[in-house]
Structure 1
Amino acid sequence: MLLKYFYDNNIAHASYLVGCQATGEALVVDPGRDITPYVTAAADNDMQIIAVTETHIHADFVSGARELAEQIGAKLYLSDEGDQDWKYEYLADYNHERVYDGSIFKIGNIKIEVIHTPGHTPEHIAFLVTDTVGADQPIGIFTGDFVFVGDIGRPDLLEEAAKMAGTAEPDARRMWQSNQRFRHLPDYVQVWPAHGAGSACGKALGAIPSSTVGYEKLFNWAFQYEDETAFVKALLSGQPEAPKYFAMMKKLNKEGPAVLDGLPRPARLDEIRLQAALAEGLKVVDVRLPEAFAKTHIPGTINIPLDRSFTNWAGWLLDYDQPFYLIVDQTSVNVIVQDLISIGLDNIGGVFDPAVVDTWRETQSYAVARPADIAERIINGEVVVLDVRGSSEWQEGHLPNAQHIMLGYLPDRFQDVPMDKPVVVQCLSGARSAIGASVLQANGVTDVINLAGGYQAWAAANLPIERK
């Protein structure tokens, strides 16, 4: 048996290729949209991908299952659990088999047994893997978004992201039942999850790529509860904000995402096209470092730096139904396109060279201030403090007189930001607040200040903190 691990740091997504070395056949589990890594790995190991499966209809990235079926003819093994709202709609065009609790299929000599594990989603399944040549017991389990290293999948995404009211608590109770099934697996079984640290599909995911059933039963917080009610309360508390784009991912993955057949190559455009895009009110994203953007940028553009969090904030702040544009260096175009298509942001109108900022007639800037330089004005209420961190961070402590609007909700809540004073934007370190400052300026708030070092620097300077 061959097992290959793939990881996308930007969306904290893990996927796998499991192959039978005796027959040269392979299965891809929970694939991302770019199928090149799987095809390459299979070829490098003299294997043919004959099948693809996934643990559920994913909410945080576009699945590559359809792409693999379309491009190389892989058979789809997808969940038939859950009610009609959770059935895949594109399978009729491909060789497929709907699987459910107790289903078994084989990839060469490797047996895959399906276990229904609802809670994160109604249709969620996990896969027990047995290499039948040398064993009659499973070596591991692909848990998807059911059990992570140190955490379990959140049950509130349908309510928070898909706006399906009243589903969070019932799904948390289903997760309790799924956990009981997990407890009865042998301790030696390896755990291969679909996400790692940084994913919004849980609240305390570990950075270790794999674990075992026994280790998780001992040390995963979710398996320390003996009372269902207490478990449900703990599971539903402290979950991070569900990204806005999660609802779109559910829709795309259920209906079947567009087939790409390669990486899109957006056109490089000139200054006239940039003027037209801004005049039409379309989003233009400048991916330069926040320090450079703060000093000079084109009015109306927003700044989402090309780093590990780029994909997340692009999903929060860009529109799926309108084209958008990028100010990005040519050497980074392929990387950024790959990041965007991973969450279905395919509607890239074009790209502009960063040199366009230097030649733009009237540019804009915003101030950056250290806590010591602006503390007195903040404490005296001479400025508006806008805290763009998450709710759990806010509840742990915040600056005096601060107003809280999580960064992802800012475009929908401009009317809640007072305009009669300068606005000091603040997060934990100064990174998210830099994005927030750019969003405010792009929407007409001109007197903006980013708090350098954010809440961390403020607290380190022993300045006043409020908790409520």
Structure 2
Amino acid sequence: MFFKQYYLGCLSHASYLIGDTASGRAVVVDPQRDISGYLHDAAAAGLSIERVIETHFHADFLSGHLELAEATGAVISFGADAAGRTEFAMEPLGHLQRLELGDVVLEIRATPGHTPESISIVVYGRSDADAVAVLTGDTLFIGDVGRPDLLSSVGVSADGLARQLFHSLHEQLLTLPDATKVYPAHGAGSACGKNLSTDTVSTIGEQRRTNYALAPMTEEQFVHAVTEGQAAAPMYFLFAANKNRAERTILDEADQLAQLDLNAVLAAQRDGAAVIDTRDNADFSGGHLRGSINVGLSGRFAEYTGEVVRPNTPIVLVSDAGYEPEARIRLSRIGFDTVIGVLANPMQVFQHHPDVVESASRLTVQQFEQRRASLATLQIVDVRGPGEVEHGMIAGAIHIELPALLARLGELDPTVPTVVYCAGGYRSSIAASALRANGFTDVSDILGGYTAWATLRDPAPPTVG
């Protein structure tokens, strides 16, 4: 058996290449959009990718099923409940249907709950042997289960999906032997759950013992446990979920970005383009194109861009030299294919055109406290998630999670001095720059975030993410 997990840390996304080395037949499960890694490894192992299996319609990334089908001729499959819901040819897989790759056998189990069409895939080394592993998609994570509320905005009941999830877990997954390895589609940091582990593999037995959602409880208790405390879903999730059902452009990983001069960038900006500066927030604060948004490549770049830039918005990139292709590929992984180019020689442009450059105000905790004491009115915005604010907030702060910021701009006064904070300073730089780009005139963020503020006030700070 050939079995490889591919873990994409910037999206907390796990995908899989599974094959039978004797027959040379293989499948890819839940692929990322840039597929060169699967093609390389399959060729090296003498495997032919004949099928792409999606465990559900993903919302947090744009899957590579169309790219793999184009490159290999592979059949695309989802669970049976996805039948009739795709614009492209798709072969649905029924509950308990088995796919024989040779000695390696895959068994499909319908596990609705995170979404109605969710499936899990049980892997057997031989048809008469015990299960070796189960690929659980977004049904079961390490330390958590898939959130059932993401489809609420399109009229699908979170309560109803949570009840389906309860039965899927107990009737389809927990019936597997304890030694069965668990391989989920996501890990820590994913917005598809609230308590995901940094581990990327576990066993059914370990999850039975340690996963809060699998502890002995009634169905009602389970529904409450998995629906309360979920963070706001990133703004792009519904867009990506719909794109994963649609015919769309195939990604060309070698495509080159246009180099734009300053006049072209300013013209695009006037026409509604978002200028995304991918540099470190310290470099951004020292000087950047006025109205640009700082989302550093060092973090969850694509996800956070998708939280502050609306889908289909034209995008111009400002990057350190050589990092532009990475930024484009990472945006393509969430379906943001509207990058029209990059600002050529940005540092030189900033030096020669200081009239279009501004710096960002970043306050130490002491400077923040001084500013708070000196101003009659100060708007303080906490952009952390619900699990983080449980540990405390700065007095008087308005809690608006980063994914909800654009939708809730109307609750804030753009003319009032504003200070934004998160846990450590990465998200607050994103939020502060997004507020400036939307017309807020006096915005700062706190260096070190709530962690720094709490540490100064209490040498033993609360635990925050």
The two structures share one fold, judged by TM-score above 0.5:
yes
* Larger CA deviation: 137-146 vs 288-297: 288-297
Matches of 1:422 and 1:186, distance apart in 2: 59
1:229-378 superposed matches below 5 A: 229-352=220-343, 353-355=345-347, 356-362=349-355, 363-378=357-372
Conserved? CA contact 2:272–2:314, under 8 Å: no
Matches of 1:210 and 1:402, distance apart in 2: 39
State the Cα distance separating 1:82 from its structure 2 match: 5.7
Conserved? CA contact 1:152–1:222, under 8 Å: yes
Matches of 1:35 and 1:342, distance apart in 2: 11
Letter in 2 for 1:27: V
State the Cα distance separating 1:77 from its structure 2 match: 2.6
State the Cα distance separating 1:420 from its structure 2 match: 4.7
1:143-189 residue CA offsets vs partner (Å, 9 max, x unmatched)? 11111111111111111xxx123510000000110111222111111
Conserved? CA contact 2:312–2:336, under 8 Å: no
Letter in 2 for 1:238: G
1:78-133 residue CA offsets vs partner (Å, 9 max, x unmatched)? 2112686xx32311xxxx53111121111122111110000000000111111227
Q: Secondary structure at the match of 2:245?
A: helix
- Judged with a 3 Å threshold, the aligned counterparts in structure 2 of structure 1 residues 402 and 116 are, in CA distance, closer, same or farther, namely same
Letter in 1 for 2:126: T
The equivalent residue for 2:154 is 164
* Larger CA deviation: 318-327 vs 226-235: 318-327
1:99-178 superposed matches below 5 A: 99-132=93-126, 136-159=129-152, 163-165=153-155, 167-178=157-168
Gaps of 5+ in 1: none
Conserved? CA contact 2:382–2:420, under 8 Å: yes
Letter in 2 for 1:437: A
Q: Secondary structure at the match of 1:7?
A: strand
User: Is 1:389 matched up with 2:402?
Assistant: no
Letter in 2 for 1:354: P
State the Cα distance separating 1:308 from its structure 2 match: 2.5
Matches of 1:316 and 1:327, distance apart in 2: 18
State the Cα distance separating 1:269 from its structure 2 match: 1.0
The equivalent residue for 2:86 is 88
Q: Secondary structure at the match of 1:139?
A: strand
State the Cα distance separating 1:360 from its structure 2 match: 2.2
Pick aligned residue for 1:179 from 145, 156, 169: 169
> Normalization by structure 2: what TM-score?
0.93
Q: Secondary structure at the match of 1:232?
A: helix
- Judged with a 3 Å threshold, the aligned counterparts in structure 2 of structure 1 residues 403 and 381 are, in CA distance, closer, same or farther, namely farther
User: Is 1:219 matched up with 2:210?
Assistant: yes
What CA RMSD, in Å, does the superposition of the two structures yield over aligned residues?
2.1
- Judged with a 3 Å threshold, the aligned counterparts in structure 2 of structure 1 residues 270 and 210 are, in CA distance, closer, same or farther, namely same
State the Cα distance separating 1:380 from its structure 2 match: 6.8
1:187-225 residue CA offsets vs partner (Å, 9 max, x unmatched)? 111111111111111111111111111111111111103
Letter in 2 for 1:176: F
Q: Secondary structure at the match of 1:461?
A: helix
Pick aligned residue for 1:97 from 91, 99, 104: 91
- Judged with a 3 Å threshold, the aligned counterparts in structure 2 of structure 1 residues 419 and 192 are, in CA distance, closer, same or farther, namely closer
Letter in 2 for 1:417: L
Q: Which runs of 4+ in 1 moved over 6 A?
A: none
State the Cα distance separating 1:376 from its structure 2 match: 4.3
The equivalent residue for 1:75 is 75
> Normalization by structure 1: what TM-score?
0.93
The equivalent residue for 1:400 is 395
1:310-366 residue CA offsets vs partner (Å, 9 max, x unmatched)? 111111122322321101133112211110110100111100132222222312123
